[in-house]
Each structure stands twice: as C-alpha cells, then as structure tokens.
C-alpha cells in the first residue's frame, strides 16, 4: 500500500518501517521454531540476508510491511498487501499485542476505500484463527493446502476474508458535533430515517420505498463517501448526512433540529472528516 503511513502510534504501541539495523532481530525472531512453524515462506533458520529479502518484499508497491514496537522494543511485524500476514515474538504472546496492532493497521487501511483483506492461516494454528475471528474475518467454506518451506510439505490451511463493510459495521467511526454525533447508517436505521425524507424524493434523497436500497448503495466503505446518521445526546436519530462526490447534503427530522445542529455538523464534517489525501 503506497499510501499507508510510515509510522503509526497508539499508546505504548508503534508501527514503523524497518531499517537495516533491525535485520538481526528480525532474523532472531523468525528463527524461533515457535514462530517459523506458522509462516509458509520462512525457511529455518533465518539469517540477516534472508530477513533482508523479506524487507525488500515489503517495499513492493501495494505492500505495507511494518515492525511492531512496544516500549521501544521490536516485538513482531505485520504486512498488509495482496495478503495479510504477521508474527509476534513468543515472549510477548497472550498480551493482546497483535490484536491491538492489527486493529490499528486495519483501521488505517479501511479509513479510505480499499479492497478486502485476505489472510491464510494453518488449520492447526488455533491462536491465529481465534485472532482473525475476533477481528471480524470470515473463513472460506473450503480449506486448501499450502507449501511450507520449514517442513517442505503442503499443509492444511484456510483463507479468511475481511471486507471493509464488515470492519466498519464492527468498528463504526464516529464524528462528534457538539451534543450530537454522526455514524455510518445501517439498515436498522431505515425506520427512523424514512420520516425525514421529503416525500417523493428530492435532490439526492430517495423516495421512501427506495430507502433500503439507498442505504446499501451509500453504505460507508471509507472516506469520503457514505451515508451518516445524526444522533443527539438522547440517542434520537435527528438527521442524516450524505457524503458523495465531494459534496455534503444534510437532512433533518425537524426545522428545530436543523437550527440547533446544522452549523456544528458542517464544521465537524469539515474538520474531522476531510477526504484522505
């Protein structure tokens, strides 16, 4: 991914580009059989030059290879590209680090329209399978065999898919606008949104019977496109915002709601929801 940030930070966790100085540590971690066992392309043991080849692959267009640091110590790595793959130093297992790192990376990737992510997991790697499920990945119905360099055999694996729509359903972004907030619209919002429509359809808004299809067509898949619901501090749906083709259209349940919230919502969309560069 050419537009993936070189550096991401959240609390004590950092994702960053690797350097030559990291090669010995990468080789050490990948030479641990507990890690190498689950990585199909990793032979055993790994030397710094083999680690360098891995870094070169991560620099290819469409690939985003980042080291995972915790408290200034490299604890693993991840790569988002044609497929998702990752590893974590066994000394740091069972601390939720990889879940946090992948959540940060995937949230960044899907902040703008992007294709689904595919991860391939060994059928015996229970920890990784559970991690992918917690993140929202869905398993393919049929497994396949994949050649592993470490064992020189084809071993049972399964592909897992995560679409941006599924990610945003599980992790909906929110925009604060004073006492109101905006979030992506869902089909369950149709019963409330239908009361805001101008009747036979006007401007960008649909007729009532076309609302479910309208919600699906404008389902949020990453900035800057999508249909957002405006909710007040009583959790009442009071309006909607349509971001489409660089334009914003607002519709409110009542004139009172529009008078109270429009200015703040326009300002919040302009400052918190700019189109990604």
Residue ranges making up the domain that contains 36: 7-166
pLDDT one-digit tens code per residue, 12-65: 999 999 998 999 999 999 989 898 889 888 877 788 888 888 888 778 888 899
Is 2 within a domain? no
**Which residue's structure tokens are 């694996």?**
157
pTM for the whole thing?
A: 0.78
pLDDT one-digit tens code per residue, 67-102: 999 999 999 999 998 899 999 999 999 999 999 999
- Are residues 15 and 149 located together in one domain of the fold? yes
- Are residues 111 and 210 located together in one domain of the fold? no
- Are residues 27 and 161 located together in one domain of the fold? yes
- Are residues 39 and 131 located together in one domain of the fold? yes
- Are residues 72 and 114 located together in one domain of the fold? yes
* Relative orientation angle of helices 97-109 and 126-135, to the nearest 10 degrees: 40
Is 74 within a domain? yes
**Cβ neighbours of residue 236 under 8 Å, at least 6 residues apart?**
none
Q: What is the CATH number of the domain that holds 153?
A: 3.40.630.30
Find out whether the peptide bond into 45 is cis, omega within 30 degrees of 0: yes
Question: 145, 166, 187 — which closes off a domain?
Answer: 166
**How many separate domains does the chain show?**
2
Is 46 within a domain? yes
Better pLDDT: 105 or 171: 105
Q: Is the pLDDT of residue 275 over 90?
A: no
pLDDT (average), residues 196-224: 85
**Which residue's structure tokens are 């919502």?**
265
Q: Extract the tokens encoding 85.
A: 């793959």
- Are residues 29 and 103 located together in one domain of the fold? yes
pLDDT one-digit tens code per residue, 109-166: 998 888 999 999 999 999 999 999 999 999 999 999 999 888 889 999 999 999 998 8
Q: What is the pLDDT of residue 16?
A: 95
- Are residues 81 and 193 located together in one domain of the fold? no
- Are residues 153 and 202 located together in one domain of the fold? no
Q: What is the pLDDT of residue 277?
A: 40
Is 158 within a domain? yes
CA distance 219 to 235: 21
pLDDT (average), residues 251-264: 93
- Are residues 109 and 17 located together in one domain of the fold? yes
- Are residues 22 and 48 located together in one domain of the fold? yes
pLDDT (average), residues 168-185: 89
Is 140 within a domain? yes
Is 267 within a domain? yes
Question: 166, 201, 228 — which closes off a domain?
Answer: 166
Is 70 within a domain? yes
pLDDT (average), residues 211-218: 93
Is 277 within a domain? no
CA distance 218 to 213: 9
Q: What is the pLDDT of residue 273?
A: 67
């Amino acid at each position: 991914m050419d537009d993936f940030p070189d550096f991401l930070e959240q609390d004590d966790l950092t994702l960053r580009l690797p350097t030559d100085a990291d090669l010995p540590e990468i080789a050490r971690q990948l030479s641990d059989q507990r890690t190498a066992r689950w990585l199909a392309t990793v032979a055993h043991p790994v030397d710094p030059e083999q680690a360098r080849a891995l870094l070169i692959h991560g620099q290819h267009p469409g690939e985003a290879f980042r080291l995972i640091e915790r408290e200034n110590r490299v604890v693993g790595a991840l790569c988002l590209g044609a497929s998702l793959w990752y590893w974590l130093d066994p000394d740091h297992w069972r601390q939720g680090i990889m879940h946090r790192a992948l959540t940060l990376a995937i949230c960044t990737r899907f902040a703008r329209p992007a294709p689904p992510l595919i991860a391939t997991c060994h059928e015996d790697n229970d920890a990784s399978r559970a991690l992918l499920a917690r993140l929202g990945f869905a398993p393919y119905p049929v497994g396949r065999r994949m050649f592993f360099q470490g064992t020189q055999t084809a071993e049972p694996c399964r592909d897992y898919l995560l679409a941006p729509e599924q990610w945003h359903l599980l992790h909906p972004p929110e925009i604060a606008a004073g006492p109101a907030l905006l979030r992506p619209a869902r089909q369950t919002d149709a019963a409330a949104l239908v009361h805001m429509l101008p009747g036979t359809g006007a401007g960008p808004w649909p007729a009532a019977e076309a609302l479910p299809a309208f919600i699906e067509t404008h389902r949020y898949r990453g900035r800057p496109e999508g249909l957002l619901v405006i909710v007040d501090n009583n959790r009442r749906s009071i309006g909607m915002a349509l971001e489409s083709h660089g334009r914003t259209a607002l519709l409110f349940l009542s004139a009172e709601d529009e008078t109270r919230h429009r200015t703040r919502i326009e300002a919040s969309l302009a400052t918190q929801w700019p189109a990604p560069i």
